[in-house]
């Protein structure tokens, strides 16, 4: 992103944006952002010069500024930054893993951020440290449709026991997923014991978030119609709990009715987690009713799955899958950036389009060139 792009973006953001407050310097984290002052530029330079030891020590001490800088490093697409980020991750991994990772999905307007604000504030009041992240590969197009958004989570964003990070800007879902996963590890090493990962319910996003969390919550609203909410059987099958939100005012009956319908529906589905029965609940995020009940469910889930081994198994399996998705991404990158492939591809593509070579044969030809 050029400086002028970034400036453009900034000028469109309302002045009520609180998401980034509470942390000095590098917490801004948005790659390519224009420095506001020479002080900020100085901090940027310092950012580059922090050693792995300084990063590690800062994170383990819960230093929010250094944590913010470390996230910026992890989010950077530059090769030297990525190499440094990997070294840092290696150093902090032994200190990570000590949180409950909760994914939260639902269509825009379902009440995800209102719910996260209510839940987050109640958790920090009980002494938890809460990190909130977003997975939204569309955010560079929509200028931050989740979390970067205006007055959302105003109270939580001012809470010194919470840390809210918008979706990394730009990039593919795979890229955003890597950055989110690595940021989770940084948060855990910094002592955050609750990590909430928000995503909007579109297509592949839910599956990606499911693959990085322990518990997955689907937030719905009554009367919007399943089709409208993008509720496919498959998405319900990913959920460890379903929450019908906005059970308040004159919507209470409709919400409770919807709750019992979803409750019935999930009984016919394959459970998302072995040994755990997914259930439906209702709540009002705005009034706060039912919000702590969901936390009780999350805790019960943790107790049961830790005891039956599923908690550990899932995390191990998720790490294995992560390795494979990193491999796939890297292999693809190497393949397409290879000079031999770059020069041969246009003619082979043309031949395939004209029907002179079958696609599978063309693929083999290219792969042979690559492996020679
Ligand atoms: P998100 O897009 O899923 O994050 O949804 P938001 O949290 O931004 O909420 C969308 C709208 O629904 C906002 O106007 C909220 O004030 C409203 N809303 C959220 N939760 C509730 C609720 O529990 N009850 C009612 N009545 N409105 C709510």
Q: Find out whether the beta carbon of 286 lies less than 6 Å from any atom of ligand 1.
A: yes
Q: Is 105 in the pocket of ligand 1 (CB under 6 A)?
A: no
Q: Is the CB of 112 under 6 A from ligand 1?
A: yes
| Ligand 1, pocket-test mutation among 19, 111, 167, 222, most atoms within 8 A of CB | 111
166 lines ligand 1 (CB under 6 A): no
Any atom of ligand 1 within 6 Å of the Cβ of 109: yes
Distance 28 CA to ligand 1 centre (A): 26
216 vs 243: CA distance, rounded Å: 11
- Smallest Cα–Cα separation from 223: which of 146, 110, 104? 110
202 contact partners, CB below 8 Å, separation of at least 6: 138, 230
Contact 167, 144 (CB under 8 A): yes
pLDDT surpassing 50 at residue 151: yes
Task: List, for residues 197-224, the tens digit of each pLDDT value.
Answer: 998 766 678 888 999 999 999 999 987 6
If we measure between CA atoms, which residue out of 69, 70, 64, 77 comes closest to residue 131?
64
Helix (H) or strand (E) holding 279: strand 279-282
Instruction: Indicate whether residue 148 lines ligand 1 (CB < 6 A).
Output: no
- Location of structure tokens 């009034």: 287
pTM over 0.85: no
Burial 304-321 (b: 16+ CB within 10 A, else e): ebeeeebbeebeeebeee
Q: 219 C-alpha vs ligand 1 centroid, how far in Å?
A: 11
How sure is the predictor about 166, in pLDDT bands with cuts at 50, 70 and 90?
A: confident
pLDDT (tens digit per residue) in 19-51: 333 333 333 333 333 334 444 444 554 545 799
């Amino acid at each position: 992103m050029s400086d002028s792009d970034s400036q453009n973006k900034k000028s469109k953001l309302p002045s009520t944006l609180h998401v980034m407050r509470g942390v000095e310097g590098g917490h801004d984290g948005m790659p390519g952002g224009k420095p506001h002052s020479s002080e900020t530029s100085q901090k940027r330079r310092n950012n580059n010069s922090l050693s792995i030891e300084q990063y590690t020590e800062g994170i383990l001490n819960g230093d929010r500024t250094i944590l913010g800088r470390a996230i910026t490093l992890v989010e950077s697409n530059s090769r030297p930054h990525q190499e440094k980020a990997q070294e840092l991750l290696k150093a902090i991994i032994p200190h990570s893993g000590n949180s409950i990772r909760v994914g939260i999905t639902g269509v825009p307007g379902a009440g995800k951020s209102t719910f996260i604000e209510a839940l987050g504030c109640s958790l920090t009041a009980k002494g938890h440290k809460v990190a909130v992240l977003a997975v939204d590969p569309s955010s560079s197009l929509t200028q931050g449709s989740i979390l970067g958004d205006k007055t959302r989570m105003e109270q939580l964003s001012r809470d010194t026991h919470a840390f809210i990070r918008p979706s990394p800007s730009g990039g593919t879902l795979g890229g955003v997923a890597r950055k989110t996963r690595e940021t989770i590890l940084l948060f855990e090493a910094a002592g955050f014991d609750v990590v909430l990962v928000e995503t909007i319910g579109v297509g592949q996003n839910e599956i990606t978030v499911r693959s990085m969390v322990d518990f997955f919550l689907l937030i719905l609203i009554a009367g919007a119609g399943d089709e409208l909410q993008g509720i496919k059987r498959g998405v319900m099958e990913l959920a460890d709990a379903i929450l019908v939100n906005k059970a308040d005012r004159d919507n209470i009956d409709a919400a409770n009715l919807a709750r019992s319908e979803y409750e019935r529906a999930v009984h016919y589905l394959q459970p998302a987690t072995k040994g755990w029965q997914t259930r439906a609940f209702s709540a009002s995020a705005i009034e706060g009713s039912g919000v702590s009940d969901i936390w009780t469910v999350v805790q019960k889930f943790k107790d049961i799955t830790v005891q039956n081994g599923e908690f550990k198994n899932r995390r191990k399996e998720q790490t294995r899958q992560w390795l494979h998705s990193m491999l796939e991404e890297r292999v693809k990158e190497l393949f397409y950036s290879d000079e031999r492939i770059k020069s041969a591809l246009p003619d082979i593509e043309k031949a395939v389009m004209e029907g002179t070579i079958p696609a599978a044969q063309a693929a083999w030809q290219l792969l042979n060139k690559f492996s020679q």
